[in-house]
Structure formats: structure tokens, C-alpha cells
Amino acid sequence: MGFSNKSKLLIVDDSAFMRKLISDFFDGNLKIEVIGTARNGVDAINKIQQLKPDVVTMDVEMPEMNGLDALKVIMEKCPVPVIMLSSTTINGAKNTLNAMENGAVDFVAKPSGTISLDLHKIKEELVHKVEHAAHVSVAKLKKPIGHKNISTKFANDIIKKREITPMKNSTTTKNYKIAKEVNASTRKNQWSNNSKKIVLIGTSTGGPRALQEVITKLPKSINAPILIVQHMPPGFTKSLAERLNQLSNIEVKEAEHGDVLINGKAYIAPGGSHLKIKKLNSQFQIILDQNEPPRSGHRPAVDVMFENVSQFSEFDKIAVIMTGMGYDGSKGLIELKQKGNTIAIAESADTCIVYGMPKAAVETQLVDEIVDVDDIAQTIMKYLP
């Protein structure tokens, strides 16, 4: 009887060994019950229609019908949240980003190729992502990029009145008091067109789609550099940067140690490195830090970037927190607001694939604007000269 509350998982992989290994990860899991397996994309589509799972894990590379082709059919015929399992090859990374664009919730990189004997290394990550994906709204996954969503005027009305009560588990009472004082002093009347600006963006689950929605709408003439932290393993951030660069008016690149910040250019933190900046004469340079440990399990972490940039009073900051699990960014946001002029923008619950990081940011009481992902680029531009 206890099974009724569990989310149902279908595992899709052409390797019997991998199907067994992934099934074993969920033995005794209180939230997830494995209800079946499938050996390729065609089999997966049939099983989804027959077994009606709440969530699916699917290998990207399979014979007969690969994960990417299967995903497109699934999202059209029988939509369900899907976590892709991907190899870390350049091709694997490109296919994975394609899958995210086509509606996959998230992905997990296999530690060593198609059949990973050491898959246990990613057990915790996979289980965690599956548990969360089971509750993601399929309507949001199917929503084509660029589609207009319902207005979030209501949310902004609330924020203007500052009626959101802080959650105990997110920000301490002390931080909440600081937040109220800080926010009162950092309104738009201190926002000067003469000072340098920098845009800081943090995102996680659902981020590649959200970034495409935002970065492709920024004009080439944008008068600020853009620093981006997207939670992703090494290898995938390079593919993401290349993809966004092809689609955007601005230049987008994976950040390299020593890069000089240039207006109209976006720098994506590489997987495995925290993204920081330092001043050298009159220029600002990027530092990639692999020595500082991961923060809340992430390297790069949004908090680390926010905290580092908060030290530079030469910039007014526009901090943007978009879709993602957890609360990365909210601690750094408090520092940004305490130490200088910062406008904070959070993606609304209406468009987030996972409303975790923006929710934690909103609970600090320091967010100036809550907007749908479609309107974030326009909102950023509003605060730039």
C-alpha cells in the first residue's frame, strides 16, 4: 500500500548492466519506485504510454532510436519529465544541450563513457535530480522558447509592498533585518548612468533554455560585461557558450583565466572553476579558481561570483537569479546589496522549471523585480545607460 505516494520512474538504456545499476540506486527509496525499463527510444515511447511514469531517465546514445529523437516524440505525444544520461564527449555535450532545448529537465554526465562501471560516483546526483524532476510541470518543459507567458504583475505588486515573509530555512532573522535596511538605501534614485555597470547571472536546472531566452535578446550595444554561472560539469559549459554565441548578437564565450572584461561580451564560468574578477591597472580580469572548494555542492557557485564582485565599488551591479534547485545566490545577493548599488532580478515562478534559487533570493527581501524569463533581457536593459 505504501507505494501509492511514490513517484514512478522508467529507466531507458540500451545496456542491461546500466538498467540494473540505475534501478539499484532506487532500492529502498522512499520517494521513487522503479516501474519498468526500456532498451531504446521506440521501446521507451511504448512503455511511457503503457506505464504512465512520473519521471524518466534516458541515455542520450542508444541504437534504433537515440535519446534525442525519442525525447522529441515523447514531448509531443506523451510528455513527461526526462533526465538525460550523457557521455562527456564533445558530441555528447552538444546532444545533451539539444535535449535540454527540446524539453529535458536536466542531465547527469556519466563518469566514464557509455557503460560506466563507476556510475556510483553520480548516484547521489542522479537520485536527487530524479526526485525533483518528478514534480516539474510538463507544461513548462513543452513551452517553446520565446513564447509569451502570463504577466507577473501580481508578484511585482507584492514585492513593491515587501509583503513576502522570510522563510526560516532560507535567510536568518539577522539577514532579514540587514536586507530591509539595505534595500531601503539601494533604490533606483542612486542608480547613475555615469558609473560602470556589470551584469551577473546565476542559474541551474532549466538554465540552458532560460539563458537562451535572455542572452539572445540582449543587443550588441549593451554597455556592460556579463558574467554567467550555470551549474554544469566541465566540457558542457564550452558547448553551451558556443551554442549561445551562434544564436546571440553579443559575443558569448567560456571564460578563460586572464580574460579582460569587455562591454557587450558574456563570459560563462567553466564547469569545475569558480568565476572571480580582479583589477589590473584600469582593467578587470577574470580569475578561474579551482582551489576554493565547491559551495553547496557547486563549483562554479553563484554565491562565490556574487561575493567576489561585491568587493568592487567601481561597478553598479545587476544581479539576475534564474531557474534552479537549491538556494545558491541568495547569500551572495545579501553581500552585493550591502556593499554597493545592486539591482536584483529574479525569474518568476510562472516560468521557472524549478523555482528554488529565485525563491530563496526573493525570500531575502532584496529582489527589486520578479519577471518572467521572456522579460528578463528587457528588464536588464532598463537599468543600463
Phi-psi region of 80 (alpha: psi -120 to 50; beta: other; left: phi over 0): beta
The single residue of 116, 132, 231, 273 carrying the catalytic annotation is 231
Q: Under a CB-based contact definition with an 8 Å cutoff, are residues 203 and 356 in contact?
A: no
Q: Output the nine-digit C-alpha cell for 343.
A: 539591482
Active site residue 231: yes
Residues 6+ positions from 331 with CB-CB distance below 8 Å = 303, 306, 307
Number of alpha helices (DSSP H) and beta strands (DSSP E) in the chain? 14, 14
In contact, 21 and 119? CB cutoff 8 Å:
yes
Pairing of strands 315-321, 274-280: unpaired
Residue 57 contacts residue 156 (beta carbons within 8 Å)? no
CA angle 374, 378, 380 (to 5 degrees): 110
- Active-site choice (54, 259, 303, 328): 328
Q: Is 204 a catalytic residue?
A: yes
Q: Is 4 an annotated catalytic residue?
A: no
- Strand partners for 7: 32
Catalytic residue among 7, 87, 116, 204: 204
**Active centre residues (catalytic):** 204, 231, 328
